[in-house]
Every structure is written in structure tokens, then in C-alpha cells.
Amino acid sequence: MTALETLIEALKRLPGVGQKSAQRMAYHLLQHDRAAMPRLAEALMAAGEHIRHCERCHTFSETPICAVCADPERDARLLCVVETPADQAALERTGSYRGYYFVLLGRLSPLDGIGTGRIGAAELLARAAEDGVEEVILATSFTAEGEATAHVLAEALRVRGVKSTRLARGVPVGSELEYVDLGTIAHALSDRR
């Protein structure tokens, strides 16, 4: 393989990047932004060497305990369960949640061989049993796998006497009903308050 083919193959490993997108990125870097190439390589190497998972919540961190878990000003009564560090970052950007997190690093997918052991369910249950935790917010995605994950975790928490809630779902802010999918409208009607 040539260096160009190797670069294109490497870029194709990114999610959502196919052959054409990888080629476009490679050609752009080579033709218009060669200065970015060493910076990109250095950033990738540094991230690979320094970023790990927080020992407490599993999000990305350069320290053993992430900044959120180390923040004593957070509300210790709330524990929000998300699938990925990206989901946690999205919730943080809203500025509306001030509790702690637990990142599953995936979701249940029996067809792919991903069970409760692979997503850290036992660790979550141990974390939820700690003093001070009053509510576990299940903020998994609304896909079939995300719903199954939330259901299994909710049942396990219920058996242990831990209160769990699920993110609400409904019509997005600023949308018009005629353009919203039927499933979202149905859930919005049944979950109305």
C-alpha cells in the first residue's frame, strides 16, 4: 500500500467515514493543510498515551478521577447513567444537571454478545448502593438496545430498593408536529405531564 492508501485506510476507521470521505480528508490535508498533519498526529499520540477512563465513573480523563467526580459541589444524591463519554459531555453542556455520572461504555446487545458484564452493570449497582445516592437517572438512548439496557438496569435497581427514573422523551423544542415522527408523538402523548 502507498502512503496515501494507508492514510485513507486509517481515516476510514473513524465512525461514519467511508471511502469517499476518507479520500476527501486525505486530499484536503495533503493539498491544503499539510501543517495540520503533524499536529493531528501529535494530538492522536498524546490522547492515546494520556487519556484513560475515570476510575469512578468511566468517562475519559487524564487523571485517575475525572473533574466531575472530584467536584464536591455536585449533588451526590443523583447518579445519571449514560452509554458513552460523548453522552455525558452532551448532558454536561446543557448546564442543567449537577449530579454525578456513571458511563456504561456501551449498551446491551445480545445479538452482538454484549451482556450486563460487558457494560459494567455490577459496578453500577455497587456505585448506586453507596451512601447518599437517592436516585439513578437512566439516560440511555431510545434505541431498542438502549431501552433494553434501561429496563434491565431499572429492574436490578428496583430489586435492590434503589429509585430509578428514565429520561423523558417527546416533541423537540422548536419543531412542528407535522414533521415529527409518529413514535415520538405517541410517546409525548403518553408521557405528558
- Annotated domain spans of the chain: 53-166
State percent of the chain over pLDDT 90.
79
Residue 185 burial (CB < 10 Å; 0-12/13-18/19+)?
middle
CA distances, 96 to each of 77, 167, 171 (Å):
15, 13, 19
Q: Please, what is the average pLDDT of the chain?
A: 93
Residue 8 burial (CB < 10 Å; 0-12/13-18/19+)?
buried
- State pLDDT tens for residues 29-41: 999 999 999 999 9
Other C-beta atoms within 10 Å of 171: how many?
Answer: 14
- State pLDDT tens for residues 39-68: 999 999 999 999 999 999 999 999 999 999
**Beta-strand (E) ranges in the chain?**
52-53, 60-61, 75-82, 99-103, 135-138, 163-166
- CATH architecture, domain defined by 53-166: 3-Layer(aba) Sandwich (3.40)
pLDDT-derived band at 189, boundaries 50, 70, 90: confident
Query: CA-CA distance, 67 to 186, in Å (whole number)?
Result: 39
pTM of the predicted model, to two decimals? 0.85
Other C-beta atoms within 10 Å of 129: how many?
Answer: 12
Q: How far apart are the first and last CA of the chain?
A: 60
Other C-beta atoms within 10 Å of 157: how many?
Answer: 20
pLDDT-derived band at 135, boundaries 50, 70, 90: very high
Which residues make Cβ contacts (< 8 Å) with residue 112, sequence separation at least 6? none
- State pLDDT tens for residues 111-127: 888 989 899 999 999 99
pLDDT-derived band at 185, boundaries 50, 70, 90: confident
- State pLDDT tens for residues 75-84: 999 999 999 9
